[in-house]
């Protein structure tokens, strides 16, 4: 399937972009990045035991697109991964590329 895209579909899309048949050719990528907070220690008065606290597991859903014709990058970030987050990213793209 990727071979067909590279040999047939992509050249056709590039030609359509060059001929003004399509206005924009966007490539999209998304990733969920986990940010693990380091284990930390909270100190108490002298000679008392140290208490360890585990950090919270957080992350971010990152979306980005690149405009093939201009090289312009659009990115969007949310704390939670969901279809609604992706929908908001698509709405952002629609606003930038009406």
Q: What is the pLDDT of residues 38-54, one digit of tens each?
A: 344 455 555 555 544 45
Contacts of 75 (CB under 8 A, 6+ apart): 62, 63, 64, 65
Is residue 86 in some structural domain? yes
Is residue 50 in some structural domain? yes
User: Which pLDDT value is given to residue 33?
Assistant: 82
Is residue 5 in some structural domain? no
Q: Which of 55, 52, 56, 60 is nearest to 80 (CA)?
A: 60
User: Which pLDDT value is given to residue 69?
Assistant: 92
Domain tally, the chain = 1
pLDDT in tens, 30-39: 998 876 543 4
Is residue 60 in some structural domain? yes
Range of the domain at 83: 23-96
- Say how far apart CA 2 and CA 14 lie, in whole Å: 16
User: Which pLDDT value is given to residue 16?
Assistant: 97
Is residue 47 in some structural domain? yes
pTM value > 0.85: no
Is residue 51 in some structural domain? yes
Is residue 9 in some structural domain? no
Pairing of strands 26-36, 57-67: antiparallel
Is residue 17 in some structural domain? no
Q: How many CA atoms lie within 13 A of 80 on its CB side?
A: 5
Residues of the chain with pLDDT under 50: 37-41, 51-53
């Amino acid at each position: 399937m990727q071979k067909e895209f590279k040999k047939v579909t992509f050249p056709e899309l590039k030609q359509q972009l060059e001929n003004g048949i399509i206005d924009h050719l966007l490539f999209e990528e998304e990733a969920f990045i986990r940010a693990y907070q380091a284990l930390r220690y909270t100190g108490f008065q002298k000679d008392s035991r140290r208490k360890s606290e585990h950090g919270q597991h957080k992350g971010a859903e990152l979306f980005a697109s690149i405009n093939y014709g201009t090289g312009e990058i659009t990115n969007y970030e949310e704390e939670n991964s969901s279809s609604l987050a992706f929908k908001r990213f698509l709405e952002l793209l629609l606003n930038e590329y009406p």
